[in-house]
Amino acid sequence: MRTCEHPGWFPRTIAAQQSEGAAITTGVGAQGDPTAAWAFSETFLTEDVTLLRARERAAQLGCASVSPGTGALLQVVAAALRARAVVEIGTGAGVASLWMLRGMAPDGVLTTIDAESEHQRAAKLAYAEEGVPVHRTRTIVRPPLDVLPRLTDGAYDLVLVAIDPHARAEYVEAAVRLLRPGGVLVVVDALLGGRVLDPDRHDETTALVRRLAHAVREDERLVPAMVPVGDGILLAVRR
């Protein structure tokens, strides 16, 4: 089974998250020493039962999900774009999907790709519990690099890269091709929960993630920013 290792965000139980609610001064499960600002951003919006159930299914599958703060940001980006066409690379159990669907235009379609059929089944359950009409999601159980070349260039408002770091550079290149001008690329886990900032970390994964951040920053087709929410989000607008 593929796992998806966001090192910093640990899914909590529904009860734990609800009882924490908007407790803004406590850590919220991240490794290291999260600041109060970071903690506040993670609890600014409280997840409802549908999201929390999806998050629990992800945990049962051993699959990471975006943090609540990351989800909230994805929802905002989708809403700001009035997104009608979104691609998610790495479906997991559908937590990020739900956040994006909530922000997207009511007739917007999410194309979400994951090689694990068990994860896709969990995500479909989440969409059903949310009451998402079936025509609003296109779930594809294939390796993303088989699927992405078949999607239409310049046709997407938002592309989320939420998959293991090793092939991310290729996914990002595909995303840039798929995005319309003004469309937004989001890469989650872009700071590896803080490892990217640690000058003593020289392992291959950390080096790859650093190189990708560099490449996005230098890419003249993109307007980039790094946002310290969740495990770090690399955001970029397609010029």
Ligand X SMILES: C[S@@+](CC[C@H](N)C(=O)[O-])C[C@H]1O[C@@H](n2cnc3c(N)ncnc32)[C@H](O)[C@@H]1O
Q: Site residues (CB under 6 A) for ligand X?
A: 2, 4, 6, 63-66, 88, 90-92, 94-96, 114-116, 119, 143-144, 162-164
Closest residue to ligand X, judged by C-beta, is 92
Q: How far is it, in rounded angstroms, from Cα 110 to Cα 11?
A: 24
Least distance between ligand X and beta carbon 144 (Å): 5
Least CB distance to ligand X at residue 24 (A): 23
Q: What is the Cα–Cα distance from 74 to 94, expressed in whole angstroms?
A: 13
Give me the amino acid identity at 133.
P
Token code pair at residue 166:
């090793």
As measured in angstroms, the least distance from the Cβ of 39 to ligand X is: 19
For the record, the structure tokens of 67 come out as: 């943090």
φ and ψ at 213, to 5 degrees?
A: -60, -40
**β pairing state of 85-89 and 137-140:** unpaired
Closer residue to ligand X (CB): 147 or 221: 147
Cβ atoms of 31 and 8 closer than 8 Å: yes
Please name the residue that has the structure tokens 């700001």.
Answer: 80
As measured in angstroms, the least distance from the Cβ of 113 to ligand X is: 7
Residue with Cβ nearer ligand X (69 or 94): 94
Whose Cβ is closer to ligand X: residue 3's or residue 239's?
3
- Comparing CB distances to ligand X, the nearer of 205 and 221 is 205
